[in-house]
Structure 1
Amino acid sequence: MTSLLLRDARLVPVEAGHRVPDAPVDVLVEHGTVTAVGPGLARPDGVEEVDGGGRWLVPGLWDAHVHMAQWTLASQRLDLAAVRTPEEILARVTEWIADYPGFPVIGWGHRSGAWERDVTVSELDAVSGDTAVVLISGDGHHAWLNTTALMHLAMPVRDSVVRETEWFAAYPRLATLVGNDGTSPEAYRRTLDHAASMGIVGFTDFEFGASRADWLERWSQGCDTLRVRWATYADTLEDVIAAGLRTGDPLLGPPLGDDRLTMGPLKIISDGSLNTRTAWCCQPYADAHRLEYPAGQPNQPPEELRRLLARAHGAGLEIATHAIGDAAVADALAAYAETGARGSIEHAQLVGRDDVRRMAGLGIRGSVQPAHLLDDRDLTEKVWPDRTERCFAFRWMLDDGVTLALGSDAPVSPLDPWLAMAAAVHRSADEREAWHGEQALTARETLAASVDGQPTVAVGSRGDLVLLDADPLAPAASAADAATVLRNMSVALTVVAGRVVHHSA
């Protein structure tokens, strides 16, 4: 932690009704904490000074849900986000193999939920030969592999895609195909620098197949730019408990403890996704005739979910439960109530009205990713046409007292907090009207849900600051205009624990 004097910055009021000075002020950060706010502050000896130039100051932004290794790798993968049919994908794979002979093909981003047919391994084999091909869906919940890749990853040969738990278990073995170059310390530092340029000061890392040793090693190799909360999965839970780690504890023990790298929650993936048609719902999908499980299904028996919650809660860990369908949300809330566990519902994409109230009553956070609604709008209308008003129900949550935490789920959506905020405010990415605009939030509400619970910058605040080139709460004629301001926001300065980690000047 270092110290910093930021001069001539305009405070942005995070809380509704909070009054801030009309004129710019100076902000002093000492040893990672704001110790003074006001005009004409004296600069202590040895403290770095930065001129804010009358720009707007907010607390540091957080992304509450990131898969950091996958996001870091995304730039090196075949981008399939724009394809619309299986035939287009096969053509892209054919071109990639011709351009890069002898190298495996790792694709990311296709959304098969809107396709009119299921794909097969055999048709991928026909265009790929002996080249290993792994095409990961945009939601991360299934992958289309050819036979060579299935065999290399020690998976049973079949003629269908690999879904859910089987895919999550296989994902870490991708390194045996492509190596770890994409997640080297240099690659991570580039990713962290990019996040800092967006005003991000911290994130919760939900990477699959990772261990705390991975982050300890990266931290020692210079990947210490931002705050990191590392989440465990069930396979590393006992190791975490044996180490005596509780949520919030530094991963680096004494005497090297650093509160920027801490233990996060236990992550449980309780159901699937909309795109893969595996989100667990109370009613069948509209195209249920195509599905093995017409209403989706849970990823583990109810008793296993409760065992994991009780085990983690008893050891002092919060739990982050992935639940997309309304049946999954209801069951997760019941498990929280029965075990006394605390934490979050991750995604909460489709919810029942009473379950939102129960979520508030239990004190369970809503960790949501608004940019997903931009991608899922059309598919939701197709497969959940009778329940769209209950999707991405941010207004219900906030009005009922649920604490919201915004994130990206990168690489499912870009690591961009301003895109997330804009999506929550306008709920449209094109010329169409807002999708269920009654569930929209205000710019101030989205900002408050993006700063990890920090208030307007004041004495006692964390020394995590972001200086903006425009006022994010400037009056706007419409939600679309407010969203445009957010989407086009530029960041002049990002500070973590008093240390400048991004400076555009």
Structure 2
Amino acid sequence: MHDAAIQLIQGARFPGSSTVTDVWIGGDGVISAVTPAGALTELDGVSAASARTLRADGRVLTSGLWDEHVHLGQWAQQSSRPDFVTADSPAAALELAAGYLAPDLSGSAPTELIGMRVRGGDWGGLSREQLDSVSSRVPIVLVGLDLHGAWLNSAALAKYGFSPDHSAHVVEDECFGLVAELDRTTDEALDAAVDLAARRAAALGVVGVVDFEIRWSFDDWTRRELGGFRALRVESAIYPEHLDRAIDCGLGSGSPIGTNGLVSVGPLKVITDGSLGTRTALCCEPYDGGGHGRELVAPAELSSLLARAKRAGYWAAVHAIGDRANAQALDSFGATGAAGRIEHAQLLRSSDIARFAALGVGASVQPAHLIDDVPSMRAEWADRADRAFPLASLLASGANVVLGSDAPVAPLDPWHAIAAAVTRASAGSPAWVPEERISVAAALTCSMRGPLAPGVGDHADLVLLDSDPLTAALPIGPAGFRPPGVAATLLGGVPTHLTADLAHTATGELA
């Protein structure tokens, strides 16, 4: 990162435009002028010749990207663990596990295996006997793709305090508790990992995240801000078990954390059902194996929480994946008048789509889950396929749709989410309900808090791209959407990412 703010971005284009433009940034980190290239030689006492200048050389300038749903601490730690997402069967998962536990050339072998993003829900999971066949002495924990379930061998079950007769599969609260234990570390190590993850996000054009870490994280962010964290804007959520403490501290959504203006209090997060991968998403129709999923928060309790959040100055973020969970969440928003949005909004009744706009409730969707969940949707929701991830229908209804990753469930990469929303398919596969695809422009807009063409008065939270995503990525072919390279990311005009070649061309002692 560079401490000096850019004062002039010279020779940029906006998405979809061939006009070359200069963008001037004031000392308050807000765009003060947008003019044809070279039209102004001075503004507010700053000359073009002496301004700290970023020469865009025709690159494309647009608003920075937001990941509206991320668990940043978990992503920071778990992204370095073995990824099992390619394993498409129990045999493939067991083979991967054996490979990771194999001794290296020096003869040393891991003393524990923690694997992430396992597709166990797609093929019935793993038994203790299967995992013990890989090793009965070395603890093995394979965490499911959606983080709502995990599979453990005998050694891991014993290590993490489960009863001897517990099955290999742990779900929901047991899994959340297990993952929290797996992630236990020192504050120093966690902060270093978060800082690195944030810098990597900035290199992808990310300027902000909504952080849904399941812990009292205000102390974490206060410490990080004091330690010099400057890579992203962060809105840090709280959970119901911490609501009393937050209210006693005088905090509400938007309250600043620290003094640099980058970190603030986010929403109250409420988890009302499970996930598709564990067959715990709460649905109107039963699963093939029976049951409708899990109701983790009763409707009356949810309404009470939302009403209390409203009184305390919080907007609400309600996790709902199944169509019954979404309907109940909309009912509670309607009954209380609370502000907020539904996180995931994965399966919706057709009659509920229009209710988002009518109630002013946002839909916070993670399109990469669509790609990951196709096998499970095909197995469990084939008769409701047209109602899964109805992005185009939500947008057409006037709903406010925002996109995110849910990292570490999917990588913290907004271009991955955009590609999934635009194609609704992995490379070489047919689109899942293709009529629900959305345009690149729409997907970008849903990934930003600023406009595609930033103007005077907009925050200078900006990204400079090597190519125009509205044209260079089209037509979208079998290989999918091709994301542009990110040359620079600015936060209030301050670079949080610059490619080496661009840093060398910048003037005014930026590098």
Q: How does 1:341-360 map to 2 (within 5 A)?
A: 341-360=338-357
Q: What is the CA distance between 1:483 and its match in structure 2?
A: 5.0
Q: What is the CA distance between 1:366 and its match in structure 2?
A: 0.7
1:345 & 1:130 partners in 2: Cα distance? Answer: 43
Q: What is the CA distance between 1:129 and its match in structure 2?
A: 2.8
User: In the alignment, which of 131, 139, 149 is matched to residue 156 of structure 2?
Assistant: 149
Q: Which moved more, 1:424-433 or 1:333-342?
A: 424-433
C-alpha change, 1:182 and 1:149, in structure 2 (3 Å) is: farther
Maintained 8 Å contact 2:275/2:281:
yes
Q: What is the CA distance between 1:171 and its match in structure 2?
A: 2.4
Q: What is the CA distance between 1:91 and its match in structure 2?
A: 3.2
Q: What is the CA distance between 1:480 and its match in structure 2?
A: 3.6
Within the alignment, does 1:378 sit opposite 2:375 as a pair?
yes
Maintained 8 Å contact 1:371/1:423:
yes
Q: Counterpart in 2 of 1:88?
A: 92
Q: Counterpart in 2 of 1:68?
A: 72
Maintained 8 Å contact 1:65/1:409:
yes
C-alpha change, 1:47 and 1:247, in structure 2 (3 Å) is: farther
Maintained 8 Å contact 2:368/2:410:
yes
Q: Counterpart in 2 of 1:496?
A: 491
1:49 & 1:476 partners in 2: Cα distance? Answer: 28
C-alpha change, 1:303 and 1:437, in structure 2 (3 Å) is: same
Maintained 8 Å contact 1:171/1:209:
no
Q: Counterpart in 1 of 2:504?
A: none
Q: What is the CA distance between 1:432 and its match in structure 2?
A: 3.2
SS at match of 1:396: helix
User: In the alignment, which of 402, 409, 423 is matched to residue 412 of structure 1?
Assistant: 409
Q: What is the CA distance between 1:144 and its match in structure 2?
A: 1.1
Q: What is the CA distance between 1:301 and its match in structure 2?
A: 2.3
Maintained 8 Å contact 1:229/1:263:
yes
Q: What is the CA distance between 1:187 and its match in structure 2?
A: 2.2
User: In the alignment, which of 155, 164, 170 is matched to residue 162 of structure 1?
Assistant: 170
Q: What is the CA distance between 1:410 and its match in structure 2?
A: 1.2
C-alpha change, 1:375 and 1:102, in structure 2 (3 Å) is: closer
Maintained 8 Å contact 1:246/1:263:
yes
Q: Counterpart in 2 of 1:339?
A: 336
C-alpha change, 1:52 and 1:118, in structure 2 (3 Å) is: closer
1:282 & 1:298 partners in 2: Cα distance? Answer: 12
C-alpha change, 1:150 and 1:341, in structure 2 (3 Å) is: farther
Q: What is the CA distance between 1:494 and its match in structure 2?
A: 0.4
1:11 & 1:481 partners in 2: Cα distance? Answer: 27
SS at match of 1:502: strand
Unaligned runs of 5+ in 2: 502-511
C-alpha change, 1:182 and 1:69, in structure 2 (3 Å) is: farther
C-alpha change, 1:220 and 1:152, in structure 2 (3 Å) is: farther
Q: How does 1:266-415 map to 2 (within 5 A)?
A: 266-285=268-287, 287-289=288-290, 294-415=291-412
1:58 & 1:449 partners in 2: Cα distance? Answer: 13
2:94 & 2:170 partners in 1: Cα distance? Answer: 18
Maintained 8 Å contact 1:141/1:163:
yes
User: In the alignment, which of 203, 219, 222 is matched to residue 216 of structure 1?
Assistant: 222
2:302 & 2:260 partners in 1: Cα distance? Answer: 32
C-alpha change, 1:339 and 1:2, in structure 2 (3 Å) is: farther
1:409-454 Cα deviation digits (max 9, x unpaired): 1121121111211211121122233221111111111111111254
1:64-118 Cα deviation digits (max 9, x unpaired): 0111122112333122111122233333333333335352211101111221x44
Q: Counterpart in 1 of 2:179?
A: 171
**Number of aligned residue pairs:** 485
1:51 & 1:475 partners in 2: Cα distance? Answer: 21
2:199 & 2:302 partners in 1: Cα distance? Answer: 37
Q: Counterpart in 2 of 1:201?
A: 207
1:499 & 1:149 partners in 2: Cα distance? Answer: 46
Maintained 8 Å contact 1:425/1:442:
yes
C-alpha change, 1:481 and 1:112, in structure 2 (3 Å) is: closer
Q: Counterpart in 2 of 1:134?
A: 141
2:425 & 2:125 partners in 1: Cα distance? Answer: 29
C-alpha change, 1:377 and 1:449, in structure 2 (3 Å) is: same
SS at match of 1:184: helix
1:325-373 Cα deviation digits (max 9, x unpaired): 1011001111111122111111111111111111111111110111211
2:198 & 2:459 partners in 1: Cα distance? Answer: 20
Within the alignment, does 1:460 sit opposite 2:457 as a pair?
yes
User: In the alignment, which of 249, 257, 262 is matched to residue 251 of structure 1?
Assistant: 257
1:140-176 Cα deviation digits (max 9, x unpaired): 1111123433343334440241111222233222245
C-alpha change, 1:135 and 1:476, in structure 2 (3 Å) is: closer
1:200-258 Cα deviation digits (max 9, x unpaired): 00111112234211122122223321111111112222221111111112112xxxx33
C-alpha change, 1:30 and 1:120, in structure 2 (3 Å) is: same
Q: Counterpart in 2 of 1:17?
A: none
1:206 & 1:247 partners in 2: Cα distance? Answer: 13
C-alpha change, 1:288 and 1:379, in structure 2 (3 Å) is: same
Maintained 8 Å contact 2:318/2:342:
yes
Maintained 8 Å contact 2:148/2:176:
yes
Once superposed, what is the RMSD of the aligned Cα atoms? Answer: 2.3
Q: Which moved more, 1:75-84 or 1:36-45?
A: 36-45
Maintained 8 Å contact 2:65/2:448:
yes
SS at match of 1:208: coil
User: In the alignment, which of 118, 126, 144 is matched to residue 119 of structure 1?
Assistant: 126
User: In the alignment, which of 173, 178, 198 is matched to residue 192 of structure 1?
Assistant: 198
Give the alignment's TM-score, normalised by structure 1: 0.90
1:502 & 1:172 partners in 2: Cα distance? Answer: 31
Q: Partner letter of residue 117 of structure 2?
A: G
SS at match of 1:473: coil
